[in-house]
Chain A
């Protein structure tokens, strides 16, 4: 066993060195494709997390005209309260909204703003986020209502954009992973082809198939490992230095999970690719 271990290590290293250009190509392809896979996974997870956070706080806001009469206000309020899909409503008077506007708007703008210009509003939480649309369609044309806004629409568009981005990433990653596999397969096949005499002599004197196969599979394994190491570096760097938004930031365990997937996929691609490559040379 110890003899074989030494033999396998020596063979693997000399193969890697002999085919260093192809090795670099294979490692880089694995790295690029796995980085994309990792990025897509991160994106998917942060999108899921962010949209969960947004949906929890979904509110629909019914803005009243600043000139709305008190009977219009009472009418809207009683309708809102009798609506079963609305869980809870809070009324913000013009003065309260003015205070809020003061916080949000730049100084120049709110100094010219008068309390009487600001709409009063009903901030309501619907039972389920999608009910925000029902509220919107019911109240948009009521007398005294200025506008109904619901962030749901934006969330949905954002989600769709993320989903498309994610599909693009995954398709790209799949194509690149395939080409990485083919590259590794080709590297190993070239290595074996260059040494087919040796392989045939090995078979002749009774070396087992696994004896012949393992150094080449280790070679592929190392290529996959190096590729995924680079990819893990890239994914971690992306996560650390490019925080998109507070709500996108993931926990360390989510990052670790993504990195584990990247590692496993890389190592599998390397070993399986080379295992396939050598098959043809072994059956005699």
Chain B
């Protein structure tokens, strides 16, 4: 599903974000991306979204070479990728329903699709009763669930999550993770960048650790810390 071949990325100010990264993520995998701030996690996700282009190497996503996608086709590429963030990025002047519907609206889905899909996805994230509320009337966990609903309503092949639990308390983190697992079980590939040690340790999923732009660890059923390695890949 995702394939990096000797990918390097250096920003204009000289910061080396990724250095010769090669990896392969299969369809339906759940991958944690860990590492200190500035280790290249965000760049990794930005490259997948094609917000950046690699300087060297090749990125294949759903069988397509990302660098070769022409600019006007980038939106179509992004329709296959759901995305959630630490700061939710909801639209404050729209209701929960409208926030989720917006994702379908802007890709030109007809009203009938919106009216059938949005209640379905709100039911999945357990926010049916809050459909008419504004994001400001929701808790952080609920807001993140709205964001997940918006990212997933279009049934993307890949879901990218940039520290989705960064702003949440443990019990809300729990709910969000359960939701991501559930989405993963539908066959969606999930890539999640995180700093949440407890969470990674408990989930026992594939862990890729980045350090100064290089992959220093890639474990099938990994934990957060490098001080307790559990079987290399």
Do A and B interact with each other, yes or no? Answer: yes
The yes or no answer to B4 lying at the interface (CB within 8 A) is: no
Interface string of B70-96 (1 = CB under 8 A from A): 001001111100010000010100000
Q: Within 8 Å CB of A211, what residues of B?
A: 75, 106, 108
The yes or no answer to B192 lying at the interface (CB within 8 A) is: no
Q: Within 8 Å CB of B78, what residues of A?
A: 203-206
The yes or no answer to A244 lying at the interface (CB within 8 A) is: no
Check B75–A3 contact: CB distance below 8 A. Answer: no
Check B91–A198 contact: CB distance below 8 A. Answer: yes
Check B75–A209 contact: CB distance below 8 A. Answer: yes
CA distance A211 to B106 in the complex (A): 7
Give chain A nearest CB distance to B113 CB in angstroms: 9
Give chain B nearest CB distance to A193 CB in angstroms: 15
Give chain A nearest CB distance to B209 CB in angstroms: 27
Check B109–A201 contact: CB distance below 8 A. Answer: no
CB-CB nearest in chain B for A202: B106
Known contacts being A197-B89, A201-B89, A205-B103, is A4 close to B154, with CB within 8 Å?
no
Q: Within 8 Å CB of A198, what residues of B?
A: 91
Q: Within 8 Å CB of A207, what residues of B?
A: 75, 106-107
Interface set, chain A 203-227, CB cutoff 8 A to B: 203-209, 211-212
CA distance A284 to B50 in the complex (A): 9
Residue B109 contacts which of A3, A203, A212 (CB distance < 8 angstroms)? A3
CB-CB nearest in chain A for B83: A204
Give chain B nearest CB distance to A220 CB in angstroms: 20
The yes or no answer to A7 lying at the interface (CB within 8 A) is: yes
Check A7–B105 contact: CB distance below 8 A. Answer: yes
Residue B108 contacts which of A3, A197, A203, A204 (CB distance < 8 angstroms)? A3
Give chain A nearest CB distance to B61 CB in angstroms: 14
Check A208–B72 contact: CB distance below 8 A. Answer: yes
Check B89–A3 contact: CB distance below 8 A. Answer: no
Interface set, chain B 89-138, CB cutoff 8 A to A: 89, 91, 102-103, 105-111
CB-CB nearest in chain A for B94: A198
Q: Within 8 Å CB of A284, what residues of B?
A: 51
CB-CB nearest in chain B for A205: B103
Q: Within 8 Å CB of B103, what residues of A?
A: 201, 205
Check B108–A205 contact: CB distance below 8 A. Answer: no
Check B79–A197 contact: CB distance below 8 A. Answer: no
Q: Within 8 Å CB of B89, what residues of A?
A: 197, 200-201, 204
Q: Within 8 Å CB of B151, what residues of A?
A: 205
Q: Within 8 Å CB of A205, what residues of B?
A: 78-79, 83, 102-103, 106-107, 150-151, 154
Q: Within 8 Å CB of A197, what residues of B?
A: 89, 91
Q: Within 8 Å CB of B107, what residues of A?
A: 205-207
List B residues at the A interface (Cβ < 8 Å). Answer: 49, 51, 72, 75-79, 83, 89, 91, 102-103, 105-111, 150-151, 154
Knowing that A208-B76, A209-B72 touch, tell me 8 more A-B residue pairs with CB under 8 angstroms.
A3-B111, A204-B49, A204-B83, A204-B89, A205-B151, A206-B154, A209-B75, A284-B51
List A residues at the B interface (Cβ < 8 Å). Answer: 3-4, 7, 197-198, 200-209, 211-212, 284
4 A-B pairs with the lowest CB-CB distances in the bound complex, closest first: A206-B79, A207-B106, A206-B78, A205-B103
